[in-house]
Structure 1
Amino acid sequence: MAEVVLNNVVKKYGDIQVIHGVDLQVNDGEFCVFVGPSGCGKSTLLRMVAGLEVTTSGSMKIGARDVTSMDPAERGVAMVFQTYALYPHMTVAENMGFGLKMTGHTKADVAKKVAEASRILKLDDYLSRKPKALSGGQRQRVAIGRAIVRGPEVFLFDEPLSNLDAELRVEMRVEIARLHREIGATMIYVTHDQVEAMTLADKIVVLRAGRIEQVGAPLDLYRDPDNKFVAGFIGSPAMNFIAARVSGAGQVDAAGLGSALPIAVRLPALGAPLTLGLRPQHLEIDTHASTHRVEMTEALGGVSFLHLTASSGEKLVIEARGDTVIKPGTMVGLRFDPAHLLAFDANSEIRLR
């Protein structure tokens, strides 16, 4: 296996630049997830690593080799796409081994590699079936098996679970995590689902508009975001954001939360606007106050999400443990520890520390 190093890579389509000077190192054996909203450039960046998109400028290495100008077949990568792209007239075994067969491997070698991939993916009972006789999750496992038999240095996944239903997505997340542990390969995985990113990744790369916003371990990004975008994108439900102003030394006023809130960061000048961030699990209902109106309760059994509107008009979400249900229209108050507040510059959206 090998590390992947991107050095100031740029991608342009004519005059339109979609990837802006990305620098990144994915370590040998690491599971790296590219995450971001639709159109942020994550799939384009993955396809550049695969060689399916030409790199306009910058350089790219896989292991010790500069692969910037190499054809996809020479890069030592295998890609699993969103669509399974299986041959409908071939069996599972034939689909998995077809690439090896076309590159001149012997029947014995193909059979050995297919058997090993089948064992890893628990496909032994399906080798003689054709794709139409498989579920969506089984078809995706076959597509992953087709990548495994090639023995690549790097596995690339382009939103491989987006076509599956919710139950199968959870099942396949577990399968992919187990696969990574078993074979120890370098993997780069693209998704717009931050839950997938948090549960699978060793390293998350948050992208926006073709630029990297932050790179780090999942919990590091969750606990210590560099800016408002990362804070709002990582975590489900999303972080609450409340407009505020500096009201004194180490204090801010926020109509959606209260006045004279203490905050231990370096604040701008008195009266300067900023944005406060507070995660839903750090808020609690206070039934002895009436500053917020309950709009809706999402009761999910073990946890409930309460959607509130402050008297200032701002929207907030509270995560409550248990089967808490409060009727719409009920007025409540909030309790929270100010130590959990994050502050962001109102203009640049950079985290204040």
Structure 2
Amino acid sequence: MTGVVLNDVIKKYGETQVIHGVDLQIDEGEFCVFVGPSGCGKSTLLRMIAGLEETTAGRIEIAGREVTHEDPAERGVAMVFQTYALYPHMSVEENMGFGLKMNGHPKAEIKEKVAGASRILKLDEYLKRKPKALSGGQRQRVAIGRAIVRDPHVFLFDEPLSNLDAELRVEMRVEIAHLHKEMGATMIYVTHDQVEAMTLADKIVVLRKGYIEQVGSPLHLYDDPDNKFVAGFIGSPAMNFLDGEVVEGGVRVPALGTLVPVTVANLPAPGTKVTLGVRPQDMETEPQGPLEVDIVEHLGGVSYVYLDAETGERLVVEARELREGAAGKVGVRFDPGRVMLFDAKTEQRIR
């Protein structure tokens, strides 16, 4: 059975349209991540699935049933918010079981479901504590537990880790991945952090200005982006982009002062303006060249060298064996086969 299907879904606030005819299928048991910059519509789309935002037009199905205009409580979804939304006067146990209690479930059933969720989330020793006695990560686990006890068709996560510090974010990311593996549930997760998207998702949906730019697995989007936006958004550090012009034999790149023999089947006619993209991981520095070393970040096993070109463009090169600080003028080398080419006007990939 399919988890969630969106057919030509539209959202308007008055005359302002923020979601533009989205079509999407999320399979049962899939971990799908909505990712994109602030204001791209990812949280709005999630809230439409939850029923917290009215759908202006289109159709939403959950577990094979249309729910487009149903109340949130009738959709079979459970949502985990950024702000935890725990009742401060209730214990962990009471917070997790409160929704079931309000819906009239028997005490024995509530106790059993809370115990099951507590075991999964390793909250047994905290059940009698109040939220103020918990860390941020523990509070988020309680919020997730409150969703688990409802046994929903779909779990919805709206930037659940954004209030945590860096170390806790990594820890909770691993816990959510384990939770999905253990439960096999359909999960839809919203984040602006592409690292979270890459590490958690079976499927990533990249959104920009209310449109879907591309859908695919993390590695597919990394290796084969459809356009410059996706190429620049997926991957850390971001892909380097350089202006170029098609000439006989390849692409002339002023920032590098050289001709790059790009191996693209459908190379445009000479004179066409293009953008050349190379990931920092695919580049190496060499002793002499036109690029000025600005900053070198040493991060232990890897370093990042920031380079400025006379054209005003900036590059980042990953260096895994750099032990001394680079300085002065350098060049870069890379395999032309790893270069991606984009139309300078449309930003679409040239393949």
Q: Above 0.5 in TM-score?
A: yes
Match of 1:295 in 2: 294
TM-score of the pair, normalised by structure 1: 0.97
1:312 Cα deviation from its structure 2 partner: 2.6
Which stretch of the first structure deviates more once superposed, 341-350 or 311-320? 311-320
2:260 is aligned with 1:261: yes
Match of 1:176 in 2: 176
AA partner of residue 65 (structure 2)? R
Match of 2:88 in 1: 88
TM-score of the pair, normalised by structure 2: 0.98
1:323 Cα deviation from its structure 2 partner: 4.8
Q: CA RMSD in A?
A: 1.0
- Quick one: distance in 2 between partners of 1:173 and 1:98? 26
Match of 2:223 in 1: 223
Q: How does 1:19-168 map to 2 (within 5 A)?
A: 19-168=19-168
2:13 is aligned with 1:13: yes
2:348 is aligned with 1:347: no
Which stretch of the first structure deviates more once superposed, 304-313 or 197-206? 304-313
- Aligned with 1:302: secondary structure? coil
Q: Deviations over 1:293-312 (max 9, x none)?
A: 10001111111111001233
2:218 is aligned with 1:210: no
- Quick one: distance in 2 between partners of 1:345 and 1:128? 60
Q: Is the 8 A contact 1:2 1:62 kept in 2?
A: yes
- Aligned with 1:87: secondary structure? coil
AA partner of residue 129 (structure 2)? R
Match of 1:333 in 2: 331
2:191 is aligned with 1:191: yes
AA partner of residue 140 (structure 1)? Q
Q: Is the 8 A contact 1:30 1:187 kept in 2?
A: yes
Report the CA distance shift for 1:325/1:213 in structure 2 as closer, same or farther (over 3 A): farther
Q: Is the 8 A contact 1:245 1:273 kept in 2?
A: yes
Q: Which runs of 5+ in 1 are unaligned?
A: none
Q: Is the 8 A contact 1:242 1:277 kept in 2?
A: yes
Q: Is the 8 A contact 2:5 2:60 kept in 1?
A: yes
- Quick one: distance in 1 between partners of 2:153 and 2:2? 6
The alignment covers a number of residue pairs equal to 350
- Aligned with 1:291: secondary structure? strand
- Quick one: distance in 2 between partners of 1:324 and 1:309? 21
Q: Is the 8 A contact 1:302 1:323 kept in 2?
A: no
Q: Which runs of 5+ in 2 are unaligned?
A: none
Q: Is the 8 A contact 1:276 1:342 kept in 2?
A: yes
- Quick one: distance in 2 between partners of 1:175 and 1:185? 14
Q: Is the 8 A contact 2:191 2:197 kept in 1?
A: yes
Report the CA distance shift for 1:2/1:145 in structure 2 as closer, same or farther (over 3 A): farther
AA partner of residue 270 (structure 1)? P
- Quick one: distance in 2 between partners of 1:69 and 1:44? 15
- Quick one: distance in 1 between partners of 2:342 and 2:322? 33
- Quick one: distance in 2 between partners of 1:66 and 1:238? 39
Q: Percent identity?
A: 70
Q: Deviations over 1:1-41 (max 9, x none)?
A: 85100000000000000000000000000000000000000
- Quick one: distance in 2 between partners of 1:26 and 1:324? 46
Q: Deviations over 1:206-236 (max 9, x none)?
A: 0000000000000000000000000000000
- Quick one: distance in 2 between partners of 1:63 and 1:327? 56
- Aligned with 1:105: secondary structure? coil
2:245 is aligned with 1:245: yes
- Quick one: distance in 2 between partners of 1:201 and 1:53? 24
Q: Is the 8 A contact 1:295 1:309 kept in 2?
A: yes
- Aligned with 2:252: secondary structure? strand
Q: Deviations over 1:107-151 (max 9, x none)?
A: 100000000000000000100100000000000000000000000
1:259 Cα deviation from its structure 2 partner: 2.7
- Quick one: distance in 1 between partners of 2:324 and 2:109? 60
Q: Which ranges of 4 or more aligned residues in structure 1 deviate by more than 6 Å?
A: none
- Aligned with 1:141: secondary structure? helix
Q: Is the 8 A contact 1:5 1:25 kept in 2?
A: yes
- Quick one: distance in 1 between partners of 2:105 and 2:2? 24
- Quick one: distance in 1 between partners of 2:182 and 2:58? 34
- Quick one: distance in 1 between partners of 2:339 and 2:39? 30
Q: Deviations over 1:135-169 (max 9, x none)?
A: 00000000000000000000000000000000000
